[in-house]
Amino acid sequence: MKKFLAMMLALAMVASLAACSSSSSSSDTTAAETEAATEAAETEGTDETEAADSTTGDGELITVGFAQVGHESDWRTASTQSCQDVFCEANGYELVFVDCDQDSAAQLDAVRNFIEQDVDYVIIDPIVSTGWDTVLTECEEAGIPVIVIDRTIDDSDNYTAWVGSDFTAEGYAAGEWLNAYAEAKGIEISGILVIEGTTGSSAQLGRTEGFQEIADNYGWTILDSQDGDFTEAGGQEVMESYCQSYSGQFNVVICQNDNEAFGAMTAMDAAGITYGVDGDVILISFDACTAGLEYVQAGSINADFECNPLAAPFVAEIIESLEAGEEVESTVYMTEHWYVAEEDVLTSITVNGEEQELTYVTDEIVEAQY
Ligand code: GZL
């Protein structure tokens, strides 16, 4: 009965998806979700009843409501796919997925809809880090555990666990790499321009804070730091403005994700500004998605600081422990790598006194990336 009810409510949810995201992205996502579930079921060679037994033992699927940030970047696509691959019927789950299209109000509505549907678990990747306390209390009162992934919630700790990355550490690593690289290459850093991620997201806050601290330590000048919203269009728009306003004043560009870097490269190409290993501007990025690593391998991006989007398997472990009545870790950090374009310049950096390895990008690494 619960499964039938969940299915009917899920269908109602799909109908309301347009409220949360543009119809094309929600229908694409639904199609992808269906495709992923079908592929997984075919791969597993397991029918739904057998698969359901594998998770709950009573033939019931575990319903998981996932309020995703949006579809703004390659990183986001990989994050969504990871959840769809793991939380599928073949593995004993029913995923109610909502693409919130970078709209914080819509994301809160999505979580409240999950409560109405009485899902078993809620997963949230919070678009911004504040405004969460009330709805998390509502989930608690409804007896629905919440697992936060990727970005953090900073105004409440009323959730079961968080799985993600240390964004400030990513910013520190980018700053220390830049210092060591400039020294090794004999480059005087004249001026730095930053294209930030979505304002108020913990990824933007952490990367900005970490890099700023290192810049202050070395006395670097950050000429400007504007929001590119983690999108290619945003990165291009901000970089076009920078090329106008700061021509000849900068030799470092920091993009807080790969898609912004793609846009920044388009803008610098149009302005006749060279970048990368053989260019006048050092280009640094974050995420290290496959396309980003291809640009690193080509020497267009000098260094790319990975942010791992594949949190879903770790979330599934948490849910399975909770189903078994076991204690769970409240914080799970993902493993990340710092990728570089040149094998013979630096092999490691020192961050807060700790030596951190650098990874030279090879065909095998690009092939295996997300
Ligand atoms: C970081 C993640 C960010 C990525 C961007 O964990 O939230 O959001 O860096 C994505 O690509 O848009």
For the CA of 259, the nearest atom of ligand 1: 11
Distance of CA 131 to the CA centre of its chain: 20
Residues 84-138: tens digit of each pLDDT = 999 999 999 999 999 999 999 999 999 999 999 999 999 999 999 999 999 999 9
Q: How far is the CA of 8 from the centre of ligand 1 (A)?
A: 32
SS3 (DSSP) at 120: coil
* pLDDT at residue 57, rounded to an integer: 57
Residues 124-165: tens digit of each pLDDT = 999 999 999 999 999 999 999 999 999 999 999 999 999 999
Q: Whose CA is nearest to atom 2 of ligand 1?
A: 203
For the CA of 72, the nearest atom of ligand 1: 12
Q: How far is the CA of 341 from the centre of ligand 1 (A)?
A: 22
User: What mean pLDDT is predicted for residues 336-356?
Assistant: 97
Given a cut of 70, whether residue 21 has pLDDT beyond it is no
Q: How far is the CA of 7 from the centre of ligand 1 (A)?
A: 31
Q: Whose CA is nearest to atom 6 of ligand 1?
A: 150
Q: How far is the CA of 75 from the centre of ligand 1 (A)?
A: 6
Q: How far is the CA of 36 from the centre of ligand 1 (A)?
A: 22
For the CA of 289, the nearest atom of ligand 1: 11
Angle between helices 258-270 and 290-298 (to 10 degrees): 40
User: What mean pLDDT is predicted for residues 201-209?
Assistant: 97
Given a cut of 60, whether residue 52 has pLDDT beyond it is no
Q: State the average pLDDT for the chain.
A: 88
Residues 220-277: tens digit of each pLDDT = 999 999 999 999 999 999 999 999 999 999 999 999 999 999 999 999 999 999 999 9
Given a cut of 80, whether residue 2 has pLDDT beyond it is no
Order of strands, edge to edge, in the sheet holding 161-164? Answer: 93-99, 62-68, 121-124, 146-149, 161-164, 331-333
Which residues, judged by CB distance below 6 Å to any ligand atom, belong to the binding site of ligand 1? Answer: 72-73, 75-76, 150-151, 165, 197, 203, 230, 257, 286-287, 307
Q: What is the pTM of this model?
A: 0.84
SS3 (DSSP) at 162: strand
What DSSP state is assigned to residue 281? B
